[in-house]
Amino acid sequence: MIMRKKFGIVTIFPDMVRAYLGCSILKRAIENNLIAVAIHNLRDYSTDKHRTVDDYPYGGGPGMVMKPEPFFRSVEDQWPIRENRRVIMLSPRGRVFSQEIARELSREKRELIFLCGRYEAIDERVREHLIDDEISIGDYVLTGGELPALVIIDAVSRLLPDVLGDSRSAEDESFSYGLLDYPHYTRPEMFRGMGVPNVLLSGNHEEIRKWRKRQSLKATLQKRPELLAIYALSDEEKLLMEQIKEETS
Ligand code: 4FV
């Protein structure tokens, strides 16, 4: 019996999140009970009749800051047992998300709870006393934490058994082992005078495997050489890389 992976999202825009989870692979994963995503409206945990979740910043400055009470009340009400939850705040100050972190979170037994900010920031006491983890999806500033939460739920869910139609596809792709992906082709064989590399039409799976490996190494060397610094080349890959460097030098 595959354990259903449980996620929680706290946001002031629940419909925005539902929209993305209501389509395609994640929709099917929810229907097939492979994942569950509990969506909670932060305003339901405000403490006033105006359902206020933000206020002016102490010390002045631009924008509004999200109040601590609604976040603490929502987490303590919905996920009271600390051992069963891992509360993740999305913010540009977090550790930068990667396929490695996606794998780490896909192995996590605790429920993954995402706190989605809006406005300028979230009161620092949430970071200091409520969260277990802080993740950024990249060095740029968004209008909210909902997209980062969905990016992470998407990347983690597709690593779970049976979520992708063909589990091989999660193993054999960009970053799944540290190199950029190889080029992919499908019908038509000829398109506007542009063909398909013969090796892919040869049926020679060993030659196809080697061509794809060479393409991955070449693309990584040209586009993301820093990835090669942390990637342990196999003997075959070292050989292929020598050939590539000779060809491209
Ligand atoms: C972000 C990021 C991000 C900052 C203020 C939401 C915004 C606004 N989150 N990775 N990059 N968050 O830009 O995670 O509330």
Read out DSSP for 180-221?
A: PPPP---S-SSBTTB---GGGGS--HHHHHHHHHHHHHHHHH
* Residue partners of 168: CB distance under 8 A and separation at least 6: none
| Nearest Cα to Cα of residue 159 among 228, 100, 88 | 100
pLDDT of residue 165: 74
Q: Angle 235-248/205-223 helices, nearest 10 degrees?
A: 60
Radius of gyration of the chain (CA): 23
Ligand 1, from 136, 139, 146, 147: best to mutate by most atoms within 8 Å of Cβ? Answer: 136
CA of 137 to the centre of ligand 1 (A): 8
Residues 193, 30: Cα–Cα separation, whole Å: 43
**Tally of residues, the chain:** 249
Task: Write out the chain's pLDDT in tens, 249 residues.
Answer: 667 899 999 999 999 999 999 999 999 999 999 999 999 999 999 999 999 999 999 999 999 999 999 999 999 999 999 999 999 999 999 999 999 999 999 999 999 999 999 999 999 999 999 999 999 999 999 999 999 999 999 999 999 999 997 655 665 565 667 899 999 999 999 999 999 999 999 999 999 999 999 999 999 999 999 999 989 999 999 999 999 999 887
CA distances from 18 to 13, 119, 154 (A): 9, 21, 13
Ligand 1, from 114, 134, 142: best to mutate by most atoms within 8 Å of Cβ? Answer: 142
The partner residues of 6 in beta bridges, in order of sequence, read 36
CA of 92 to the centre of ligand 1 (A): 5
Residue whose entry in the numeric block shows the structure tokens 């506007």: 192
Residue whose entry in the numeric block shows the structure tokens 């949430």: 126
pLDDT of residue 238: 96
∠120-127-65 over CA atoms, to 5°?
A: 25
Task: Give the distance from CA 200 to its chain's centroid.
Answer: 31
Q: Which protein residue has the closest C-alpha to ligand 1 atom 1?
A: 91
Using a 6 Å cutoff on CB, does residue 63 contact ligand 1? Answer: no
Ligand 1, from 66, 90, 126, 146: best to mutate by most atoms within 8 Å of Cβ? Answer: 90
Residue 94 · residue 135 · CB < 8 Å: yes
Q: Which atom of ligand 1 is nearest to the CA of 141?
A: 13
Using a 6 Å cutoff on CB, does residue 148 contact ligand 1? Answer: yes
CA of 118 to the centre of ligand 1 (A): 8
Using a 6 Å cutoff on CB, does residue 175 contact ligand 1? Answer: no
pLDDT of residue 248: 81
Q: Which atom of ligand 1 is nearest to the CA of 138?
A: 11
